[in-house]
């Protein structure tokens, strides 16, 4: 009887220990290092940015529909501290980036940026919130710039001298990114009160660097290098090392300078190449520099959360922290889209899923999405664990893989698309018209050219970089597999249409 009582006490106490932090997975980083994954928050609605605050041992985070919240890491409780009154949420628009003043104990400020709409005009606002005892007691609009129906960026980050950087999107404009006098498609630099610093590279201007499309991640390395992640169009997602007065190429140049046209442009006017580019695209988002001994294999790495690729990528930097020399992929398709990452003072990593956003992928959202998950090192070897992916280099993709890679993120694996955002391929008349279909794939499509009566805010990108046989493969796949057609084409037909255009 006495023995039994003892056992039951042990069981109850171990249950309690596991209750608030039940381990949902293990990750093998190396033979020496294993991590546990625990859920610290669930049922969130697109946590967009999150930043760890050492002085409060909490995480401040935004959710796209307008809530700013604080996650207390001692209790795992969440408190909403502010709701942006005039946020305009649509697809990728809403409450986005967040930064914490580097000297929060003395200057208890949070900085947020979000989309607003007045009559028919869209804007992006940057606002500073002042906190006292965990409550917002005042707020100040620091800067308001033009917004758009997509590509509003944006991330915020502070450097060591308390200058605030705002990575803004090109708002789908053909001219902003290359125009150093406007504030879109830029890295903007300002004082912590929103003023223009005297030492900015262009006197009297916020503009620090330009030539950007839509940056979705930004971080400083230990030695002060500013790095961003950026979404390419249909190709060439990028990581850039940001330097003052540099032009990063968009809209004339995508990714590395590797086509004759791009090389010609770069030879005439100075353009800066990314330090990393990905084709097929992965939709890189959260970017966080990691410098801790807890996970030694990730020390001096960038932690990159991806949306389309649904993975956590670990990018090894050189000693100067301005080149990427190795890449590892973890959690591929495991928790869905990863949009936000932060690290606490002990080196525990927190990732936030974004499966309730405008582009949920197959099998998501899960019932408890969106979630914040904590990755911490454990001192034992678990029996089952997740491992890193093997990176397949230059392998030839079959038709299904091509469709998955280049089309499914918008039109979905089954071709049904997303109402209002991406048309269903099953209903498109182009599916029966080979010429039209090839033309669309090679050139992309802008609203009103499609036969759909629906008007789409965003254009379809061009896929002219695909080889003729790849285009033929995709066209045949969507016809035979999505609409049971027997009509097929060959690569020559694609070549002929390409040459005629």
Q: Which residues bind ligand HEC (CB under 6 A)?
A: 406-407, 409-411, 422-423, 425, 428-430, 437, 440-441, 445-447, 450-452, 456, 458-461, 463, 474, 478
> Judged by CB, which is closer to ligand HEC: 386, or 410?
410
> Judged by CB, which is closer to ligand HEC: 310, or 428?
428
At residue 497, φ and ψ (nearest 5 deg) are -65, -40
Question: Could you tell me which residues are beta bridge partners of residue 393?
Answer: none
Q: Whole-number minimum distance, CB 421 to ligand HEC, in Å?
A: 7
Helix (H) or strand (E) holding 288: strand 284-290
> Judged by CB, which is closer to ligand HEC: 94, or 423?
423
> Judged by CB, which is closer to ligand HEC: 302, or 442?
442
Order of all β-strands in the sheet with 237-242: 215-220, 226-230, 237-242, 276-278
Residues with Cβ < 8 Å from 65, sequence gap 6 or more? 45, 46, 87, 89, 94, 95
Q: Whole-number minimum distance, CB 431 to ligand HEC, in Å?
A: 6
Q: Whole-number minimum distance, CB 433 to ligand HEC, in Å?
A: 9
> Judged by CB, which is closer to ligand HEC: 66, or 284?
284
At what angle are helices 434-443 and 491-500 packed, to 10 degrees?
70
Q: Whole-number minimum distance, CB 124 to ligand HEC, in Å?
A: 22
Q: Whole-number minimum distance, CB 238 to ligand HEC, in Å?
A: 16
d(CA 358, CA 194) in angstroms, rounded, equals: 31
CB-side neighbour CA atoms (13 Å) of 293: 0
Closest to 89 measured CA to CA, from 36, 33, 166, 147: 147
Q: Whole-number minimum distance, CB 441 to ligand HEC, in Å?
A: 5
Q: CB of 25 within 8 A of CB of 334? A: yes
Q: Whole-number minimum distance, CB 420 to ligand HEC, in Å?
A: 10
Closest to 215 measured CA to CA, from 282, 151, 290, 288: 151
Q: Whole-number minimum distance, CB 474 to ligand HEC, in Å?
A: 5
> Judged by CB, which is closer to ligand HEC: 109, or 463?
463
Q: Whole-number minimum distance, CB 430 to ligand HEC, in Å?
A: 4
d(CA 55, CA 52) in angstroms, rounded, equals: 9
> Judged by CB, which is closer to ligand HEC: 104, or 358?
358
- Tokens 């989309």 locate to 115
Closest to 48 measured CA to CA, from 312, 339, 369: 339
> Judged by CB, which is closer to ligand HEC: 102, or 461?
461
- Three-state DSSP class for residue 492: helix
| Chain-centre distance for alpha carbon 230 | 8
> Judged by CB, which is closer to ligand HEC: 33, or 149?
149
């Amino acid at each position: 009887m006495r023995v039994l009582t003892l056992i039951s006490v042990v069981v109850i106490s171990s249950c309690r220990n596991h209750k608030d932090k039940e381990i949902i997975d293990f990750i093998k980083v190396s033979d020496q290092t294993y991590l546990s994954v625990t859920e610290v928050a669930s049922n969130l609605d697109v946590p967009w940015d999150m930043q760890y605050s050492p002085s409060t041992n909490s995480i401040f985070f935004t959710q796209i529909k307008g809530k700013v919240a604080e996650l207390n890491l001692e209790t795992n409780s969440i408190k909403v501290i502010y709701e942006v009154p005039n946020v305009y949420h649509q697809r990728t628009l809403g409450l986005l980036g967040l930064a914490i003043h580097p000297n929060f104990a003395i200057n208890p400020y949070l900085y947020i940026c979000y989309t607003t709409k007045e009559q028919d005009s869209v804007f992006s606002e940057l606002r500073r919130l002042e906190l006292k005892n965990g409550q917002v007691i005042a707020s100040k609009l620091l800067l308001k710039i033009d917004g758009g129906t997509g590509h509003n960026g944006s991330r915020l980050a502070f450097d060591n001298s308390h200058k605030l950087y705002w990575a803004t999107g090109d708002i789908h404009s053909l001219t902003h990114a290359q125009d150093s006098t406007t504030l879109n498609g830029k890295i903007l630099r300002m004082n912590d009160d929103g003023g223009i610093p005297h030492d900015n590279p262009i006197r009297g201007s916020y503009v620090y660097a330009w030539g950007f499309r839509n940056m979705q991640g930004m971080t400083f390395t230990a030695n002060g290098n500013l790095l961003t992640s950026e979404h390419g169009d249909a190709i060439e997602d990028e990581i850039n090392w940001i330097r003052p007065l540099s032009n990063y190429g968009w809209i004339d140049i995508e990714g590395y300078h590797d086509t004759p046209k791009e090389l010609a442009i770069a030879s005439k006017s100075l353009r800066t190449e990314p330090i990393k580019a990905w084709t097929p695209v992965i939709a890189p988002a959260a970017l966080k520099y990691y410098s801790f001994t807890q996970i030694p294999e990730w020390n001096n790495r960038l932690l990159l959360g991806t949306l389309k690729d649904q993975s956590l990528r670990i990018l090894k930097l050189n000693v100067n922290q301005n080149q990427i020399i190795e890449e590892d992929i973890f959690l591929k398709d495991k928790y869905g889209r990863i949009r936000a990452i932060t690290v606490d003072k002990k080196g525990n990593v927190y990732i936030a899923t974004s499966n309730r956003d405008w582009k949920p992928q197959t099998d998501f959202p899960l019932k408890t999405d969106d979630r914040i998950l904590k990755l911490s090192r454990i001192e034992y070897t678990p029996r089952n664990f997740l491992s890193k992916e093997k990176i397949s280099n230059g392998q030839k993709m079959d038709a299904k893989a091509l469709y998955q890679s280049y089309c499914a993120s918008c039109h979905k694996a089954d071709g049904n698309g997303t109402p209002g955002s991406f048309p269903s391929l099953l209903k498109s008349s182009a599916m029966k018209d080979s010429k039209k279909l090839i033309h669309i794939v090679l050139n992309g499509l802008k609203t009103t050219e499609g036969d759909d009566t629906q008007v789409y805010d965003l254009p379809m990108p061009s896929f002219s970089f695909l080889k003729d046989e790849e285009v033929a493969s995709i066209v045949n796949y969507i016809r035979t597999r999505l609409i049971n057609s027997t009509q097929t084409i060959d690569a020559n037909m694609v070549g002929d249409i390409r040459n005629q255009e």
